[in-house]
């Protein structure tokens, strides 16, 4: 096998670590992390921010050259590594923490930030023994798409080109669009169309830039699978329930007061279909874990070998590009985590016994190490945006809830303990996928791994407080489980824990969802995105699908025009889409902050459009945005 040569040789004295790189990464990491928190609470999806952060870091360093001198490509890499940690932190927190609020428990800012920090620590250090196996030895097998793309962006900028303006264009458009929708309220954001002849069948479209951008990044196949799950729910299951349930004279479990004939499509989805979706997502997550078992076992063996004295003795003789953080630091951080988790009341839940904290702490360490391995491998194939963090969290909650149930710990405080355990594991799995992409970019560029690992730790610590603050602010203003912030993944986690500990799930509906996930796998359709489509409202899936359709059209157009430009121009659309997502997310957090401090939600302008006129304007503006995304991504020449 031919030896790989990075962009910056190992013997190069180029500076690869600086205070300015850390600060730039931390600041932009907080912004993008807050945007990702909003996106996740809104639709249950988060995206990788490695590519836009790489672009913005390069642009900022170039614009500030006269003030603080020229920055190296490796410094820009450190900046994007530091910043991208925050997005992963957000993913773990928003998938679980809102469930505590839905139960009536309100964790403090310090507790949420501490859970994020501890999960970040574990995810980063557990990934260290796996780097040489997954990143180096599997270099030709695992592409790590975001990490490779981020490295390509940095190399292109270093050789004279930069497309940062597309990210900033997207930021501006996404922010203004969101402001007009949610602050000025000029036109409605959601469109609905009743299907004639199909009882309570409803098509929906949430015409927002973030979801369009998510669909473009995920691509046509994943978008199509997700919308297929949504169509099954809203044009299949809901009409069936409405048809056969309209003559039932009593409320049908789990509903206790309202007849099916009196329910709207949304109410049928909330009371029945959501449980079907929960079963599908849970089984899809378990299937994903089992499919990853061979990789997990192999990676565990490699990791254990890295901890032997013989392997540690080799570290001193390794070249710069092959040096990780000392294993003494790794072991020290794991021990520090166990001490904090066992003796602190803020990790495994308030007012828990010592035995509960002990079992809970080791459950975190066990599941975190397993899912760090799984996550790091999966993202190498499908990327961070498709990392099934929620599936891993569900398996963690199922396993921990089962242990607690057998021990008789079924009281409300035990539920909070299960959720906080799941939070730390979810953050660890999420950030492990992120640092894997960062280490891949560093491997291609010729970075020093231990510097990247240290900067990722700094990014996790520096952003945890702000991500927690953003989540709490959004919850305070809009409320979790509301139309604006439905927090779908956290609602699912709450359902899982309640079901196991209190045995009150409608298991028939859950098992129907499980069967959908199994059938999906047998048909060679990825079960997790299909299950998420069943679980989420169709209106959130349709713009994702439209974004995927635009991506497919762009790829086809560019291949027809010039094959050598196809990847570059399609990548331009990814940058613009990343900006759209970040812009809407940042504006969403800003509007929530405004409402929090002013004490009232924006009322909108008095001449805002409603009814048919509002729907038409909403559709036309959304179509114009889609055309702009297509146009930017298919221009014959993208100027540097």
Sorted by where each begins, the domain ranges of the chain are 21-223+321-390+409-477+539-640
Q: For 390-426, write each residue's pLDDT tens digit.
A: 767 877 888 888 888 888 888 888 888 888 998 999 9
The three-state DSSP-derived secondary structure of 553-618 is HHHHHHHHHCHHHHHHHHHHHHHHHHHHHHHHHHHHHHHHHHHHHHCCCCCCCCCCCCHHHHHHHH
15 vs 59, 73, 76, 158, 316, CA distance in Å? 18, 9, 11, 14, 20
**Could you tell me the pLDDT band of residue 10, with boundaries at 50, 70 and 90?**
confident
pLDDT (tens digit, 9 = 90+) per residue, 324-363?
887 778 888 989 999 998 888 888 865 678 888 889 899 9
Q: What is the pTM of this model?
A: 0.74
Res. 256: pLDDT tops 60: yes
Closest to 456 (Cα-Cα) out of 17, 137, 94: 17
Tracing tokens 């889609």 back to the chain, one arrives at 626
For the segment 571-630, what is each residue's pLDDT rounded down to a tens digit?
Answer: 788 778 878 877 887 787 677 667 666 666 676 777 777 888 889 999 999 999 999 999
Answer whether 142's CB lies under 8 Å from 134's CB. yes
pLDDT band for position 565 (50/70/90)?
A: very low
> What is the pLDDT averaged over residues 531-559?
87
pLDDT attached to residue 600: 61
Mean pLDDT of 124-149: 80
pLDDT score at 160: 58
Better pLDDT: 287 or 550: 550
Question: What's the average model confidence in pLDDT over 93-112?
Answer: 88
Residue 631 confidence (pLDDT): 92
Question: Does the pLDDT at position 570 exceed 70?
Answer: no
Phi-psi region of 611 (alpha: psi -120 to 50; beta: other; left: phi over 0): left
For the chain, give the mean pLDDT. Answer: 82
Which pLDDT does position 449 carry in this prediction? Answer: 92
Average pLDDT over residues 466-477: 89
Share above pLDDT 90 across residues of the chain, in percent, rounded to a whole number = 22
Range scoring the smallest mean pLDDT among 130-139, 364-373, 508-517, 544-553: 130-139
pLDDT of the residue at 621? 95
pLDDT at 274 over 90: no
The predicted structure's pLDDT at residue 36: 79
Spatial distance between the Cα atoms of 380 and 465, rounded to a whole number of angstroms: 29
Tell me, what's the pLDDT at 43? 67
Please give the pLDDT value at position 639.
47
Q: Under a CB-based contact definition with an 8 Å cutoff, are residues 330 and 129 in contact?
A: yes
Q: Would you state the structure tokens that stand for residue 558, as one six-digit string?
A: 């560019």
Give me the pLDDT at residue 599, please.
60
């Amino acid at each position: 096998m031919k030896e790989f040569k990075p962009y910056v040789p190992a013997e190069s004295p180029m500076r690869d670590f600086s205070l300015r790189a850390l600060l730039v990464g931390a600041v932009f990491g907080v912004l993008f992390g807050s945007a990702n928190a909003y996106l996740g609470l809104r639709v249950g999806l988060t995206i990788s921010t490695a590519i836009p952060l790489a672009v913005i870091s390069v642009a900022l360093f170039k614009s500030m050259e006269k003030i603080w001198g020229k920055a190296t490509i490796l410094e820009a890499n450190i900046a994007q590594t530091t910043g991208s940690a925050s997005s992963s932190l957000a993913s773990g927190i928003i998938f679980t923490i809102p469930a505590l609020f839905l139960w009536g428990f309100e964790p403090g800012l310090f507790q949420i930030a501490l859970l994020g920090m501890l999960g970040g620590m574990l995810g980063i250090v557990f990934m260290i023994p796996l780097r040489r196996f997954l990143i180096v030895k599997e270099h030709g097998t695992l592409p790590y798409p975001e990490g490779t793309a981020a490295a390509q962006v940095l190399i292109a900028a270093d050789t004279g080109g930069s497309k940062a303006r597309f990210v900033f264009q997207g930021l501006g458009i996404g922010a203004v669009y969101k402001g007009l929708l949610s602050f000025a309220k000029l036109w409605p954001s959601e469109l609905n169309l009743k299907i004639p002849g199909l009882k309570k069948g409803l098509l929906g479209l949430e015409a927002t830039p973030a979801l369009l951008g998510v669909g473009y990044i995920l691509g046509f196949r994943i978008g199509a699978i997700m919308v297929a799950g949504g169509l099954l729910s809203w044009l299949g299951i809901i009409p069936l329930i409405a048809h056969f349930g309209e003559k039932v004279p009593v409320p049908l479990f789990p509903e206790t007061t309202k007849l099916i004939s009196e329910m709207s499509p949304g109410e049928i989805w909330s009371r029945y279909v959501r449980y079907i979706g929960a079963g599908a997502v849970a089984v899809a997550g378990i299937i994903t874990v089992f499919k990853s078992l061979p990789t997990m076992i192999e990676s565990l063996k490699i990791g254990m070998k890295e901890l032997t004295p013989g392997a540690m003795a080799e570290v001193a003789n390794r070249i710069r590009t092959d040096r990780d953080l000392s294993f003494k630091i790794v072991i020290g951080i794991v021990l520090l985590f166990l001490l904090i988790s066992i003796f602190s009341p803020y990790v495994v839940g308030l007012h828990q016994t010592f035995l509960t904290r002990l079992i809970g702490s080791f459950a975190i360490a066990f599941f975190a190490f397993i899912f760090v391995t799984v996550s790091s491998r999966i993202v190498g194939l499908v990327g961070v945006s498709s990392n099934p963090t929620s599936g891993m969290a569900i398996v963690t909650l199922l396993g921990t809830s089962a242990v607690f149930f057998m021990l008789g710990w079924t009281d409300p405080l035990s539920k909070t303990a299960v959720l906080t355990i799941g939070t730390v594991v979810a953050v660890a799995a999420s950030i492990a996928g992120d640092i894997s992409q960062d280490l891949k970019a560093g491997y291609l560029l010729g970075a020093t791994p231990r510097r990247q690992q240290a900067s990722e730790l700094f990014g996790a610590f520096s952003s945890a407080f702000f991500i927690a603050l953003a989540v709490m602010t959004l919850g305070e203003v809009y409320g979790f489980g509301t139309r604006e912030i439905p927090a779908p993944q956290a609602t699912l986690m709450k359902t899982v824990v309640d079901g196991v500990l209190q045995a009150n799930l409608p298991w028939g509906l859950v098992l129907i969802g499980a069967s959908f996930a199994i059938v999906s796998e047998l048909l060679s359709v990825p079960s997790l995105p299909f299950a998420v489509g069943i679980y989420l409202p169709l209106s959130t899936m349709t713009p994702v699908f439209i974004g995927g359709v635009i991506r497919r059209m762009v790829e086809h157009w560019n291949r027809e025009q010039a094959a050598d430009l196809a990847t570059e121009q399609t990548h331009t659309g990814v940058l613009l889409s990343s900006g759209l997502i970040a812009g809407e997310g940042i504006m969403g957090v800003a509007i929530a902050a405004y409402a929090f401090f002013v004490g009232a939600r924006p009322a909108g302008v008095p001449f805002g459009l409603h009814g048919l006129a509002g729907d038409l304007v909403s559709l036309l503006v959304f179509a114009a945005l889609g055309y702009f995304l297509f146009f930017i991504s298919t221009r014959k020449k993208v100027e540097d």
